[in-house]
Each structure stands twice: as structure tokens, then as C-alpha cells.
Amino acid sequence: MDRRTKIIATIGPATNSPQVLEQLIDAGMNIARLNMSHATHEDVRADVQTIRRLSAEKGRHVGILMDTQGPAIRTGDLAGALDLSPGQKIALTVRGEVSEEVQSVDVNYDQLVEEISIDDVVQVDNGNIQLKVLEKHHNHLTCEVLTAGVLGSRRHINLPGVRVNLPALTEKDMDDIKLGIEIGVDFFAMSFVREADDVTRLKGILDFNQAPQQVIAKLEDQLGVSNVDEIIDAADGIMIARGDLGIECPYEELPIIQRRVVKHCIRQGKPVIVATHMLESMIKSPSPTRAEITDVANAVFEQADAIMLSGETSVGKYPVKCIEIMDRVARRIERSGGAGYGAEVAPYDDYGEMVKSACRLAAEVDATGLIVFTETGRTARYTAWHRPQRSPIYAFTNDETVLKQLSLPWGTRAFLLDFDEKDPSANLVAAMAQLRKADLLARGDAIVSVTEVFSQGKLVDTVQMHRVE
């Protein structure tokens, strides 16, 4: 049986050669992530072309996700790295003011002084350096260093609990999105989504450009978590970006947030990705820690649609091995069962209820597979929504864009098929023939299908059970 949980790998200097990309695909990468915080447009064009070519050669429909940088607050450029020790003073300056402090660094957020308070803690470089605000001046903050560290140029800044007044999409994001539309990526991951209107804005841009990409909203701060249900409704999927989220929220809350968001996504029928620090030690080490294995296993047990690798595959020493380990862990955990959140799903409409009945029938007859036909991806996503345990979902579509977007939903394997609009039964015959050719079906296997039939001159949606002859 195919692995149900999809694997997303970030492409970077360690993996952007054709040879390594081919190895990632062979190892089980389902979606390639392009991180626009670091990737250049030239790199992205080359990577997309190579991934599309290799996918076609191998008959593997690898999706491509472009991850926008978003409204990131960063330190400016430094002539040399600053070696910081606890108790030292440092100034965070805005609008280029030169502070009289011994050490200072500029910050790209003009409203920093106005929006932060005395005694607030500024988290720099993914929380590795912590600075406590002592004084507020016209154009700079005087801070005390709480944790030792080396501060380099353009380090990321988090302001836990502070509502940051930055646009949802920056000028850089707009340029990157324009590129993504042009080269035909499959998904946009929108960084630092704080409310549903952020997603609506990006969707409006895509609609204006008649672009088919789906929008994955990244949860990275407390405000996004507090608005999670509205964001889930607005987005095509959710990414639990645990790096920034783990800085913005208390550590002990992070597992609870992850479980709650996964559960809510499954209940609302939206794909969910668990991301960041899954095999972090393997950036340098050939073996994961046992805690990392348990972390991956928990995300698989919760039945997230996908699990994601970041630095492990973009700059790590063992990118292919990371995919192989994730694949191995996911397959084993899937055999042991899941959290069962799909049992709590309440479909939106009659069609959803019909798909639910197909999943129930497949379980009762121990079907070898569920066959669905879809022009938009809706039927396949409805089926994945219920997390059928024993029957893989075989989705047949006549649209290449939908084919690649179905690289994300849990338990779904997609195939391209030219639909016979006059005779729906011919589509089922052709689909089963494809599955037989791929050795996914054998004589005597039970198959449940969601398809159309003619009844009294009209097409009617039906659930059918077949035995392979």
C-alpha cells in the first residue's frame, strides 16, 4: 500500500542539482517547496523546469509549493558579526538612526519603537538571542542582552504578543507570486497569516490573473492561532509552521496547538501540513534523535496530510536519507492506526454524504481501493477528508493542474484520464485498466467507486462496488 502521509522537501543548495532532485523523487518526495526567503528567481525557474522534467520521465506527479517570505522583520546588514554576552547593552535602531550605544543594529520595521513596550523581550535569530527592552527613544530601543550569541546580518526578529502592523503581502511577495503564476507552481504558501482577509487578498490576486494555484495559509503567530477557524475556511490548506510559532507561543502550548489545528482542519475538510524541525539534527547528523522520530510519528498518527522538511533538505548533509527515514516512519505508524478525527467529519452537502457512504462501504467490504473521478479535485478531497484506513484513494482527473494539486491530500494517488463525456461507464473501465497495468489491482479485488451513470436519460451520481475480473 502507498504511504498515505505526503512528504514535502525544501529545495536549496544541497538539493537543487538534477541528480539529487531525482534521488529525492525516487525516495518519495511528493511536493517540492521553494523557499522565497532565500531562493532567487533564476534558481526557481531552473528548479521548476528540472522537477517537471524528472516527474514526467518517472510518471510521478510531484507538486511544487512556492513559500512567500511574508512581512518578516529582520536586522539590517552589519560590517561584522556582533559577539553578544548577557548583560551587554545593544540598540535596535529604525530609519537608519545612528545610536550612541556601543553596539547597534538597524531594523527594517519603522513602527518598532511605537509598538513595543518596556520589559518586552525581542527574540532574534529564531529565538537564539533574547533582548530585553530597557528604554524607548525617538528612533531606537536600548536593550539588554539576556542570552549569549553571535548576531549576523539580516537575522529574523520575533515580537511575541505584539500585533505587527505590516501588510500581509510585501512588494517582494508580489514579485514572487507573479513569477509563480508565470512558471505554473501548484501552491502558494502565504507566510504570517493573521486573519482570513489576508488569504482573501491573495486569492483575489489569483482570481484577477485567472491563476489556478491553491493557497496554503501558514500559522506562525498567536493572532493567526486565535483566528484559526476563519483562516481554515478561507484557505485551501493550512501549514503549522512550528519554527516561528514555537517562538511566538509558549513551548508547552505548541503540541496542543498542533493537535487542535490538525483536528479542526480534518473536521473542516482542509489539508494540513506539519512543518519545521522534524528532523533538525539531520542537517549535520546522519541519524535522527529518538525524539525527532516520535515527533514525526505523532504528526502521522494525527493524520496530517503532509509532513515537511526545511533545512534538512535545503542545506543539510543528508537530504535523501531524511526522505527515506520519514517514509519509513510514516509507513510503520500508518499500519498501527490513526487518531480517528475523520470519524467526526460532518459533510457540508448531499454529495459529501454520498462520498462518506462510499468510504464506509469500502471499509465494510475491505476494498482494495476507492476510485473517484474529478475535474476540480473536490471529490478526491472529500474522500481524503474521511481518512479511509484500508482503501487507498485513486483519483482520476482530466486536468493536469488538478493532477498536481492532488499531490497534497492524504492517502490520494492521482492519475490522468481523458474522460468519455458520453459514456461514464467507459471511464471506470479505463481507470481499472490503468490500475491493473500499474499492479495496483488484481483479479478478485473489491473496488468501490464514486462515479456517474445514466438513469432515465440523466446523469446521476452513484456509489458502486465491483469485483475485478
Domain residue spans in the chain?
A: 6-70+167-333, 73-158, 345-467
pLDDT band at 164 (very low <50, low <70, confident <90, very high): confident
Contact 85, 168 (CB under 8 A): no
pLDDT digits (tens, 9 = 90+) for 246-279: 998 998 999 999 999 999 999 999 999 999 999 9
Architecture of domain 6-70+167-333: Alpha-Beta Barrel (3.20)
Phi/psi at 337 (5° precision): 105, 180
Look at residue 1 and tell me whether its pLDDT is greater than 80: no
The residue that leads in pLDDT, 230 or 73, is: 230
pLDDT digits (tens, 9 = 90+) for 19-51: 999 999 999 999 999 999 999 999 999 999 999
Question: Annotated catalytic, 458?
Answer: no
Catalytic residue among 218, 356, 381, 404: 218
Look at residue 341 and tell me whether its pLDDT is greater than 90: yes
- Which pLDDT belongs to residue 2? 87
In this structure, of 183-197, 211-225, 440-454, the range with the lowest mean pLDDT score is: 440-454
Catalytic residue among 6, 74, 387, 404: 74
Contact 123, 157 (CB under 8 A): yes
Contact 406, 395 (CB under 8 A): yes
d(CA 65, CA 9): 10
Look at residue 102 and tell me whether its pLDDT is greater than 80: no
Catalytic residue among 68, 276, 379, 451: 276
- Which pLDDT belongs to residue 79? 87
Question: Annotated catalytic, 172?
Answer: no
Q: What is the mean pLDDT of residues 196-211?
A: 98
Q: What is the mean pLDDT of residues 123-150?
A: 93
- Which pLDDT belongs to residue 346? 86
Architecture of domain 345-467: 3-Layer(aba) Sandwich (3.40)
Question: Annotated catalytic, 218?
Answer: yes
Q: What is the mean pLDDT of residues 14-19?
A: 96
- Which pLDDT belongs to residue 100? 67
H-assigned helices in 59-167: 112-115
The DSSP line for 162-192 is: ------SS-HHHHHHHHHHHHHT-SEEEETT
Question: Annotated catalytic, 194?
Answer: no
pLDDT digits (tens, 9 = 90+) for 272-297: 999 999 999 999 999 999 999 999 99
In this structure, of 81-85, 368-372, 402-406, 452-456, the range with the lowest mean pLDDT score is: 452-456
Q: What is the mean pLDDT of residues 125-137?
A: 92
d(CA 469, CA 467): 6
Q: How many CB atoms lie within 10 A of CB 39?
A: 22
Return the CATH number of 73-158, one of 3.30.379.10, 3.20.20.150, 3.30.70.20, 2.40.33.10. Answer: 2.40.33.10
Q: What is the mean pLDDT of residues 343-358?
A: 90
Look at residue 348 and tell me whether its pLDDT is greater than 90: no
- Which pLDDT belongs to residue 65? 98
